[in-house]
Structure 1
């Protein structure tokens, strides 16, 4: 009887479908609240790539799963959600987290638990230390690089350094962009960059009136304002500032949420400049074409935007690391594999690079200008005219 039961059990095992291995990853981001479009955009892009990878059999036969947790862009929510993902859900790594103030409180947890924070949607310096934190790896260009591209372009357009002002969020995110802009101006020999008009506003509010008043009191009326904030307060600021500064240029870093800003401002978004850290959405580059196809197949009707494109491309590079890490990788093996990738061609016109001393894959910045609700490359040489 025992032999018959053993044979029967063996036959049932052969008939039953195999249990597919699973690799679990986490995302801590604003999925609700005033910055929700940023978190949901990153989630959408990552899940689109994970879905196409899973449809092709996964990575070494393992299915990729993303556990998304809502921190509402608040550090006091980000830290416990991160801890739960590490301790209870045993995620292999975090991918695509959103925000600087939230990264400031979660990076120590990633270092403590030796668990990777990869591809965060922020260009802040806290994720780009020298030497780099082993367990922090970035996909995108930094805010220093974005604001440097702005300053270079404004000077090319004939705008003098003293004609530039800043409008920033009053926290680590705003500080990162402001410091980048000041450094870029200083690199061109302008020693008084720290004295330029600088209006600030509080995170998760839309109280921009005092910031605008500060800028309007500048001794030299600004012809350009570099802005570091999310789309809601930025839209309110531009809407009000256009009444007093109709000829002023408004420039934003990529974190603003480009499409959300257009949706908020409507026709008032015309000629607003946004630096992007991914190629144009309509580019015929193989990597962007693959994104559009994946979004159409797995995006539940979502339209292409710069945020989900960044999530998709970051996930595509991440999967290259997973493949290199071999079957059933642990947390350290994944870090080693990513940092051992060297040059990787994702079909973006130039290769991405990761290495032991280089934890940022891309340095590229694409300045765009809003025209008729769309995004075009900036021609700085004709801009001021």
Structure 2
């Protein structure tokens, strides 16, 4: 993997790596794959596309890796795709919900595990409008100024249009620059809006999102903040502490500590074998990705190569990974999961909630 092991998104890359390593340790303890041990090579790109491309050259051309797993971010994924296509190597379960990784028909060399940002934000918008009674124009966006933020906004705007939004000019959209904490101008635009929103959907990294939320609340802005899973809920909760109470984060895997689903129980056991750090949604996603990749390896008949690994994954069809829902990968479907779970920050922790609980007490509701 080429991932963010440093910088403002470093927590995400380190957690993805932890989860993948826990899964690798599990299979190596059992003798590996056909007697061969797995090894993870993780290079730091700091969540900067300019650093991703050299890392991918190193991994694909010099290290000759079997596959790339769990890369973090949309802009870095965009930088990776040309070489992935050229070298015909699997780009598996990136930590991104961007549409550029979800073509129809799917790209052979890109296979996703998680729900898309469009699905996460659609779930938010449906809850805010259908359950919370908000009008589409009462929902604003705070996004990162790059492919990640743009992917979230495009998905959100499409969801609002389905609920009757007529024009993009009706949506308040404020932005900040990637790998910075320069959120003050975005906040000023929000505070000076003629019609302040009741909810703000956030598509950013945890550090700038935390700063934006803290400053907004200190400025007296009464809105519901909702974040997509990429924010990293554990990191966001740690950054905000009690200032984060009530902030919503959608998740694409079950709760890592409160769920007793089979895969989650195995994750906790296997992670404890490699360290004593806290469990997290991100490391659980990395673990689930590695376990899915292993399931594809086990389907391979004959030599395990870059091409036969993809064939093995496409032969999985509908399968049960132990997360309470069926997953599916085949030649026509390269996104295994579609479910979205809502959670909320409370006293520095992340707790599961229902959508009805999310919208209860929502400012600006026009009906119960």
TM-score normalised according to structure 2 size: 0.95
- Which string of whole-angstrom CA distances, capped at 9 and with x for unpartnered residues, describes residues 344-379 of structure 1? 111111111001110000001001111232222333
Correspondence for 1:82 among 19, 34, 56: 56
Give the superposition deviation at 1:173: 0.2
Query: Which residue number corresponds to residue 277 of structure 1?
Result: 252
CA distance in 2, matches of 1:266, 1:59: 43
Alpha-carbon shift at residue 327 of structure 1 (Å): 5.3
Q: Deviations over 1:294-340 (max 9, x none)?
A: 11112x21210000000000111110011112454111101111111
Taking the TM superposition and a 5 Å limit, the aligned residue runs for 1:347-366 are: 347-366=322-341
The CA deviation at 1:162 is 1.4
State the alpha-carbon separation in 2 of the partners of residues 216 and 47 from structure 1: 44
Q: Contact conserved, 1:34 with 1:204, CA < 8 A, in 2? A: yes
Distance 1:379 1:130 in 2: 31
Deviations 1:36-77 (A, max 9, x none): 100000000000001011001111111111000000101011
Is 1:309 the counterpart of 2:284 in the alignment? yes
What is the aligned partner in structure 2 of residue 5 from structure 1?
none
Residue number in structure 2 paired with 1:227: 202
- The match for 2:226 among 242, 245, 251 is 251
Aligned: 1:64 with 2:38: yes
Q: 2:161 is matched with which residue?
A: 186
Within the alignment, does 1:296 sit opposite 2:272 as a pair?
Answer: yes
Alignment equivalent of 2:237, drawn from 262, 270, 283 = 262
The separation in 1 between residues aligned to 2:69 and 2:348, in whole angstroms, is 30
8 Å CA contact 2:143–2:203 kept in 1: the answer is yes
Q: Is the 8 A contact 1:159 1:384 kept in 2?
A: no
**1:166–1:245 distance in 2 versus 1, CA, 3 Å:** farther
- Give the superposition deviation at 1:196: 1.0
List alignment gaps of at least 5 residues for structure 1: 1-26
Cα distance, 1:381 vs. partner? 2.9
Contact 2:137 2:170 in 1 (8 A): no
Name the stretch that deviates more: 194-203 or 321-330. Answer: 321-330
Provide the rounded CA distance (Å) in 2 between the counterparts of 1:71 and 1:271. Answer: 33
Distance 1:328 1:301, change over 3 A: farther
Maintained 8 Å contact 2:19/2:285: yes
* Greater relative CO (CA pairs within 8 A, separation 6+): 2
Task: Pick closer, same or farther for the CA change 1:183–1:234 going to 2, 3 Å.
Answer: same
What is the aligned partner in structure 2 of residue 109 from structure 1? 83
Q: Within 5 Å, which residues of 2 pair with 1:1-385?
A: 27-155=1-129, 156-281=131-256, 282-298=258-274, 300-326=275-301, 328-382=303-357, 383-385=359-361
1:90-120 alpha-carbon deviations (Å, 9 max, x no partner) = 1011001110000011111101110110010
Aligned residues of 1:196 and 1:218 also touching (Cα < 8 A) = no
2: distance between equivalents of 1:177 and 1:224? 15
Structure 2 contact 213–225 (Cα < 8 Å) conserved: yes
How many residues are paired up?
358
CA distance 1:324–1:380, shift in 2 (3 Å): closer
Shift, 1:243, TM fit: 2.3
- Secondary structure of 2:277's counterpart equals coil
Retained in 2: the 8 A contact 1:60–1:327?
no
Q: Distance in 2 between matches of 1:342 and 1:194?
A: 43
Structure 1 residue 194: deviation in Å? 4.9
TM (normalized to structure 1)?
0.91
Q: Spell out structure 1 runs of 4+ moving beyond 4 A.
A: none
Deviation at 1:189, TM superposition (A): 1.8
Q: Is 1:158–1:384's contact at 8 Å kept on the other side of the alignment?
A: no
